[in-house]
Amino acid sequence: MQEVVLCAAAPQTPGSGSGAIVLHDVQTGTSLASFKQSNSGPHCISFVETRDGQGGFILAAQQEKSVLNVYNFQKDQLAFKIILPEKPSCLAVDTSGTFCAGGTSQGRIYLWEVASGILYNSWDAHYRRINVLKFTHDGAALISGSEDSAVSIWSVARLVDDDTQNELPTPYCTLSDHTLPVKDIVCGLGAFPTCRVLTASLDHTVKLWDLSSQSLLTTFHFPKPISSTVWDITERLFFAASLDGSIYQVNLFRQRTEKHAGQTIEAVGGAGVSDLIRVADEDSNSRKCLITVGQPITVLTISLTSSLLLVGTSTGLIHIYDIASHQLLRTISTYKGMSISHLATMLKPPDLVGHISLSLGLGSSADAKDIIPMRPVVPFHRIKDSKLREAHEVTMMLPVQDETPGGIPSAYDYPEADFQRDYAFFVQPNAISTSEASSARVASLEAEVENLREQLWKAKGINDVMWETAVRKVMTQEKREAIVED
């Protein structure tokens, strides 16, 4: 159980060099693994963790190219490349790794199924460039933010519905209260549409939305344009960063002292469109709510324990702050001269190259492929094809376990006798049907023999009676003739 940071660094000037995707230990900053040949911009990397007995993968859309790089944690080299229909401006994969969505600078969105590569839908979602795409935590909705200042919510079920393929997709709702380009989106926990969403824009605001009512709850106004934001998993606070290096902490709960009840905790905001909360640099508690980095900030993330704030800059530095005290704990300075385009925290994959977990009982790292196979990723199709949708061939790995650690039989246990019987039933239906027909024929013949045997006994009985009657008549006649002669 070790927390790591997934970091992506790209050249500050596109085409001036090669970037990389690297995993660091969050406590020490040590590099654990590196994936080369990747130059990805902001919101252009997404990953799926290793779980359910299947290895995870990383998808990285390349800058200025219509190419998508695919990596898995078991190799430090590029697995393969996928050629896309257009140059992507952003990318997102749902948490289960089922669907992948890509946005373009022309405002178009593509939706693929990862395991089959089928292009389920492609449509003009916005008038201008799409800056960010996010799936809700349950994968039921896709959220897009654009340069046209609009945020659209799309139902994934409607996007993949066969009956709506000839119709232009319509959003579940459109959040249009921003006045300048939307730069970042954060989804809260909960199933769609009961979850809440934060949207950050260059219009100096971060807005809190309730998707179930499709309404704006609160607007937070900042002194500077906001380019990135991150939300605590408990939704108690969020951080908003500007390009000039200022990070604002906004608490969504506060203490209030009442005359009779004493100190109580109440939520901040929630009054709707008219609710505006201003966050200023010159507040009396600015030391508690403001972190000054002094460098342009490109991305923010929070550790799994919600105790550390990780800040990526355009100069290639990763600053790690303690959230409670805002103290700078350490700086990872491996990428000087580059720009940090992606930061995310996760548990260290058990199949990570060079760090295979000993609990797997493997002799070498090469054996990890047999224990944890890679989750299926198929090259994406560039056009919609109804025939492929009808065939819908999907590679699937079924989890098979011998026994649970406690000795309780697993739900996937399959006795050998039952397996052989079911295998023969499904694989050799002709043989089974022939055997069944033969058995029925034998039973029929045995019944017929038994019937004939009964008829034979009846005929024999009749014959015996007739014989005895004839013999008696002859003997009686002979006796009479002998008496007459005497």
pLDDT tops 90 at residue 477: no
pLDDT, average across residues 28-48: 91
- Residue 256 is predicted with a pLDDT of 77
- Residue 426 is predicted with a pLDDT of 61
pLDDT tops 50 at residue 240: yes
- Residue 289 is predicted with a pLDDT of 74
pLDDT tops 80 at residue 308: yes
Q: In which band, very low, low, confident or very high, does the pLDDT at 320 lie, cut at 50, 70 and 90?
A: very high
pLDDT tops 50 at residue 301: yes
Q: In which band, very low, low, confident or very high, does the pLDDT at 440 lie, cut at 50, 70 and 90?
A: confident
- Residue 63 is predicted with a pLDDT of 87
Q: Greater confidence, 359 or 470?
A: 470
Task: Give the count of beta carbons closer than 10 Å to the beta carbon of residue 341.
Answer: 25
Q: Greater confidence, 368 or 78?
A: 78
| Contact criterion met (CB below 8 Å) for 375 and 395 | no
Q: In which band, very low, low, confident or very high, does the pLDDT at 2 lie, cut at 50, 70 and 90?
A: confident
Strand order in the sheet with 31-36: 31-36, 20-25, 3-11, 338-347
Q: In which band, very low, low, confident or very high, does the pLDDT at 263 lie, cut at 50, 70 and 90?
A: confident
Locate 313 and state its tokens: 């800059």
- Residue 286 is predicted with a pLDDT of 45
Q: What is the helix, strand, coil percentage profile of the chain, to 5?
A: 20, 35, 45
pLDDT tops 80 at residue 211: yes
Q: In which band, very low, low, confident or very high, does the pLDDT at 480 lie, cut at 50, 70 and 90?
A: confident
| Integer Cα distance of 178 and 181 in angstroms | 8
Instruction: Give the model confidence (pLDDT) of 383-437 as tens digits.
Output: 888 888 888 777 666 655 544 455 445 545 667 777 777 777 666 555 545 556 6
pLDDT tops 60 at residue 121: yes
pLDDT, average across residues 303-320: 93
Q: Greater confidence, 152 or 448?
A: 152
- Residue 281 is predicted with a pLDDT of 67
- Residue 102 is predicted with a pLDDT of 96
pLDDT tops 90 at residue 311: yes
pLDDT, average across residues 205-231: 93
| Integer Cα distance of 136 and 309 in angstroms | 22
DSSP 139: S
pLDDT tops 50 at residue 35: yes
Q: Greater confidence, 423 or 91?
A: 91
Q: What sign has the CA pseudo-torsion 260, 263, 265, 270?
A: positive
DSSP, collapsed to helix, strand or coil, labels residue 194 as coil
- Residue 94 is predicted with a pLDDT of 94
Q: Greater confidence, 374 or 107?
A: 107
- Residue 81 is predicted with a pLDDT of 94
- Residue 86 is predicted with a pLDDT of 92
Q: Is 207 exposed, middle or buried (0-12, 13-18, 19+ CB in 10 A)?
A: buried
- Residue 415 is predicted with a pLDDT of 75
Q: Greater confidence, 367 or 299?
A: 299
Cut 0.75: pTM above it: yes
- Structural domain boundaries of the chain? 3-371, 414-486
Instruction: Give the model confidence (pLDDT) of 160-178 as tens digits.
Output: 988 877 888 999 999 999 9
The closest of 103, 110, 108, 99 to 89, measured between CA atoms, is 103
- Residue 363 is predicted with a pLDDT of 47
What whole-number percentage of the chain has pLDDT above 70? 86
- Residue 299 is predicted with a pLDDT of 94
Instruction: Output the CA–CA distances (angstroms, integers) from residue 387 to 161, 162, 163, 344, 350, in the order listed.
Output: 15, 12, 15, 38, 38
| Contact criterion met (CB below 8 Å) for 211 and 196 | yes
| Contact criterion met (CB below 8 Å) for 333 and 342 | no
Q: In which band, very low, low, confident or very high, does the pLDDT at 157 lie, cut at 50, 70 and 90?
A: very high
CATH architecture label of 3-371? 7 Propeller (2.130)
| Integer Cα distance of 240 and 231 in angstroms | 9
In this structure, of 94-98, 299-303, 400-404, the range with the lowest mean pLDDT score is 400-404
pLDDT, average across residues 85-109: 94
The closest of 249, 252, 243 to 224, measured between CA atoms, is 243
Q: In which band, very low, low, confident or very high, does the pLDDT at 14 lie, cut at 50, 70 and 90?
A: low
